[in-house]
Structure 1
Amino acid sequence: MTLSRRSLIHSAAAVTTAALVTGGGTAHAATARRAAAATGSAVPADWMGALPDALSLLRMTIPGTHDSCCTDPANGTEWSHTQNWGIAEQLQRGIRFLDIRANGLQDHMGDSFGIYHAGFYQGITFDGVLTQCRDFLQQHPGETIVMRLKKEDGTNNDVGAGFKDVLNGYLDTKGWRPWFLLTDRAPTLGEARGRIVLIAQFDNDLPILQWPGGDNDFLSNQWFSLQDIYQGLSLPSRKTAKVTQQFDNATGDQNSALMYINFTSYAGGGWPKTNADAIMPGVQSYLNGRLSDTTHLGVVPMDFPDFHSDTLRTLIDWNWH
């Protein structure tokens, strides 16, 4: 049965508790698919569970957040306030890409990361982020989380070239390795269920997915095609044009070996919440005009998806043709 994009999450179909406690990711996914097929809907917390194991992450549309932990304007004013939902609620609402920006945490002897926006500590540690991700995946093993981990410069506790060593401490000393899928290729959904797919943006020689180098441009490497133009655009409509251009790029490259990433966030002219309000109607209008397309659009990180739940809903729905 083909599911309707428009109706996919408007009426929620609960996945049974028995499937959560007795089945692994594959069993959970099969249960979620049956529930979605029966009702034409899927709950946002389990939407990936209704998709087949063989589906590559490259062939999906994945909603995400930009500066995922920046939820409190007290941590750097409204200029660094990009989200209202915390990590746990983002995941429950269907967000599956997290933009995590870390550096050394004061008084932890180099063994822990804090989460930052430039020099502003956001009141949460990497330990806290991982705990919320783990708790979600334990309850929703059919899902996966794609995580960009960036070394945020400009902090007072810069670990420098030791960033990779601190991460290794998380993986091994602190025991987080089983929760990560560390791979240098885009996995299938079945391979990734119940785990965090890590993308590295820090100096390393690890055999994992690597974020493109550069800034404020259309960028690419062997893994990604990235649009993250956030400065130098005099009008919000010009950012909207960059977003829709990257959607068009993805649409024209459906068999690509690249994962398309398309940030809707924009730093110029106003606070993030103001810019999101200016940009997102044009993005939604573009999507509304292409609801019959049988395409995948890649990863779409946003500011304030709670204010733009129509776009979040549409992006999740896009995974059904």
Structure 2
Amino acid sequence: MNKRFQDVLNDCDYFLRNNPKEVIIMRLRNEKSGGQEIGAEEFRRRFNWYMDDPSMHFCPLFWTNPDWPTLGQGRGKVVLLTDFSHDWTTLKWDKHCKIQDDYNVPDDEKKKAIIACFDAAWFDQTTSQMFINFTSTAKGPIPEPSIGAQKIFPSVYAYLEPRKAQRARFGVVAMDFPNYRPDIMNLLIDKNFV
């Protein structure tokens, strides 16, 4: 998707104005790819411009605090998870999160990594870090990457379904092609009401 950061922020602002009880968690990093690759210093300069310039009207949109907000504090905000060096007070991707993102491994290893992250979240309900568990894999053939999801999702369901009545916090479960298994999404959403 070729969107400028300002366009993304405009979309976030529009969404949150129309859904003020929602929270957006946004990872921000320099991908250093594409036809307009920029260096680290220029990336920082552009980020600072969005954060500094009051005419941009985006500063009130951001949660700028070194700790995770409660749901009440985060409502109507974009909680930034920055993955680059800068001087602003934001949550940091590698400091405030426990991340499983093994995407280019064999299917069996990916399944084990997902389960290990679920287990870690299950047994550590007091950590101040957010668990982020990616179910995506790069092992599907192009243009059918959904094949990887179809192989991985049964093990995700097999883990979550027996625990559906048990109170737990699993953090963020990032899914490509969730439409293949809406039952998994429902299991995760229902965790909010156990």
Tell me how far 1:263 sits from its aligned partner.
Answer: 0.7
Structure 2 unaligned regions, length at least 5:
none
Tell me how far 1:225 sits from its aligned partner.
Answer: 1.0
- Choose between structure 1 and 2: higher strand proportion: 1
* Aligned-partner SS, 2:73: helix
Task: Please name the residue that 1:211 is paired with.
Answer: 93
From 120, 128, 144, give the equivalent of 2:7. 128
* Aligned-partner SS, 2:29: strand
Tell me how far 1:182 sits from its aligned partner.
Answer: 1.3
From 98, 107, 111, give the equivalent of 1:240. 111
* One-letter amino acid of the counterpart of residue 99, structure 2: L
Deviation beyond 3 Å, 4+ runs, structure 1: none
Tell me how far 1:269 sits from its aligned partner.
Answer: 4.7
Give the conservation status (yes or no) of the 8 Å contact 2:140–2:146: no
Task: Please name the residue that 2:139 is paired with.
Answer: 268
Does 2:80 match 1:198?
Answer: yes
* Aligned-partner SS, 2:178: coil
* One-letter amino acid of the counterpart of residue 75, structure 2: R
**Residues of 1 paired with 2:118 and 2:86: CA distance?**
30
Give the superposed CA RMSD.
1.6
Which deviations, in whole Å up to 9, do the C-alpha atoms of 1:7-54 show, x marking residues without a partner? xxxxxxxxxxxxxxxxxxxxxxxxxxxxxxxxxxxxxxxxxxxxxxxx
Tell me how far 1:159 sits from its aligned partner.
Answer: 2.5
Does 2:132 match 1:252?
Answer: no
* Aligned-partner SS, 1:268: coil
Give the conservation status (yes or no) of the 8 Å contact 2:65–2:91: yes
* Aligned-partner SS, 1:255: coil
From 19, 24, 43, give the equivalent of 1:163. 43
* One-letter amino acid of the counterpart of residue 43, structure 2: F
**Residues of 2 paired with 1:269 and 1:309: CA distance?**
20
Which deviations, in whole Å up to 9, do the C-alpha atoms of 1:51-110 show, x marking residues without a partner? xxxxxxxxxxxxxxxxxxxxxxxxxxxxxxxxxxxxxxxxxxxxxxxxxxxxxxxxxxxx
What is the TM-score normalised by the length of structure 1? 0.56
Which deviations, in whole Å up to 9, do the C-alpha atoms of 1:224-253 show, x marking residues without a partner? 21111112x22x232122111100000110
Distance 1:306 1:125, change over 3 A: farther
**Residues of 2 paired with 1:176 and 1:306: CA distance?**
32
* One-letter amino acid of the counterpart of residue 280, structure 1: F
- Tell me which of the two structures has the higher relative contact order, counting C-alpha pairs closer than 8 angstroms and 6 or more residues apart: 1
Tell me how far 1:184 sits from its aligned partner.
Answer: 1.0
Which deviations, in whole Å up to 9, do the C-alpha atoms of 1:125-149 show, x marking residues without a partner? 2222222221111111111111111
